[in-house]
Amino acid sequence: MAEVRDIQIQEPAARVAAATDELQDMHGEKMVLNMGPSHPATHGVLRIILELDGEIITKAAPDIGYLHRGDEKIAENMTYTQFIPYTDRLDYLAPLANNVAYALAVEKLMGIDKQLPPRCQFIRVICCELARISSHLLGMGAFALDIGAITVFLHTFTEREKLYNLFESLTGARFTTSYTRIGGLSRDLPPGWIEQCRKFLDEVVVNFDETETFFTRNKIFTDRTQGVGVVSREEAIDYGLTGPNLRGSGVDYDLRKAHPYLVYDQLEFEVPYGSAGDAYDRYLIRMEEMRQSVKIVRQCLDKIPGGPVNVPDMKIVLPPKERVLTKMEELIHHFINVTQGVNAPPGEVYFAAENPKGELGFYINSKGGGTPYRMKIRAPSFVNLSILSHLLPGHMVSDITAVLGSFDFVMGECDR
């Protein structure tokens, strides 16, 4: 006859206490565990060297650089426009947002960021927000997957697939979009795109509700995330966290509100921020941000004006092809623009945009001409990960996946 047993679940705190008590009688028994660089929970090639006391982490040393490609060196050796495809490969889960941030940084250096045509600015905002939805959908799905809930991943991926179809009809590519140009966009919205986008927004909101029913009041999920990976407000600021990870710790700071760029000051949206600073708060914030993004995109689709998408300066954007082939002056502009790049003034600028992962900043030091003398990419994932060695000790090994999932980093951007 089969025996029936009750499953006993201890509170995490009790588990930690029990584990430490048990370890009291074998001092010095430390074990080094290597996690990554090829580990499903490290979302790429992050490696963490852990020192364990039983199940409890006593020391954590993140090791990064496995995806280092030298993007900053590459940027010094090509024109501003040529670097746009490389920005796709920074945060490769939100390439459109990177394209926009980079283009705005160069435009700030050129002094034309306030002269962008309104249609261009609205399309760029739509791009940024769709990229945010795409990135958060993947982040949520992967977070769930890491802590053992596979269903959510399938739900969020279905929506993400629709988004990639939208990106494909907009830019011609699903992943590596390279959509922006210095002073504009590579192309205008294709016919019928706005209707497709509206249809997607109606569908994705339903999906958010479904995803929330999986998560928000799920006992297993709350047990594994509440009180795990707690970052205080002071620590978050001291370690330079940005994006949802900063707001999870209760700092009401969003670059779209604090230093509005594009047309964000004309749009109505709210910035969610947390109070507990744990993995659960960071999850809640991402869910709410996606809803706010939907709200922003809807407003943009309603308000989007007609007109050109590029600045009317042939020395910055390429002239139309038929004029290049028939007019002398346009041919010269085209030639100079392609071979030497845009003529940026000497000077230095720092521009940061609120990307899905946090503050993506470009510091450009120019000595004039079409190539930056030095370009520094301030990648949010790089800075966000630097807190790990401070945050992980004291947690259980199984909490690592919850902490890493809630930080939602991407190594393409971290290692550059």
Partner 1 sequence: MTAGELATQLKAKFGDLLSEATEFRGELTLIAADAERIAEVCAFAKKDLGFDYLVDITSIDNYGDDPRWTLVYHLYGYGHRAHLRLKTSVSEEKSELPTVTTVWRTADWHEREIYDMMGVRFRGHPDLRRILMWEGYPYFPLRKDFPLAGKPSDLPEVAFTNTTPMAGGPFVTIAGGKDTIAREPRVRIPETDSLATTNRVERRADIKDAHGEGFGPGPIEPKK
Q: Which is nearer to partner 1, 269 or 350 (CB)?
A: 350
Q: Which is nearer to partner 1, 267 or 377 (CB)?
A: 377
- How would you class 173 by CB atoms within 10 Å of its CB: exposed for 0-12, middle for 13-18, buried for 19 or more? middle
**Is the Cβ–Cβ distance between 186 and 178 less than 8 Å?**
yes
Q: Which is nearer to partner 1, 108 or 155 (CB)?
A: 108
Residues 6+ apart with CB under 8 A from 236: 245, 246, 248, 249, 251, 277, 387
Q: Which is nearer to partner 1, 11 or 348 (CB)?
A: 348
Nearest to 292 by CA among 308, 271, 322, 261: 271
Label the pairing between strands 344-355 and 184-185: unpaired
**Is the Cβ–Cβ distance between 52 and 30 less than 8 Å?**
yes
Contact residues toward partner 1 (CB under 8 A) are 64-65, 68, 70, 72-74, 77, 108-109, 111, 237-240, 251, 253, 258-259, 347-350, 352, 359, 361, 363, 365, 373-374, 376, 378, 382-383, 385-386, 390, 415-416
Q: Which is nearer to partner 1, 158 or 386 (CB)?
A: 386
Task: To the nearest 10°, report the CA torsion of 355, 361, 367, 373.
Answer: -100
Q: C-beta of 403: minimal distance to partner 1 in Å?
A: 18
Q: C-beta of 121: minimal distance to partner 1 in Å?
A: 18
Q: Which is nearer to partner 1, 121 or 171 (CB)?
A: 121
Q: How far apart are CA 53 and CA 323, in angstroms?
A: 71
Q: C-beta of 125: minimal distance to partner 1 in Å?
A: 21
Q: How far apart are CA 107 and CA 101, in angstroms?
A: 10
**Is the Cβ–Cβ distance between 34 and 57 less than 8 Å?**
no
Q: C-beta of 28: minimal distance to partner 1 in Å?
A: 23
Q: C-beta of 330: minimal distance to partner 1 in Å?
A: 29
Q: C-beta of 234: minimal distance to partner 1 in Å?
A: 9
Nearest to 179 by CA among 160, 166, 195: 166
Q: Which is nearer to partner 1, 96 or 349 (CB)?
A: 349
Which residue is listed with tokens 């999986």? 214
Q: C-beta of 391: minimal distance to partner 1 in Å?
A: 12
Residue 201 φ then ψ, to 5°: -60, -40
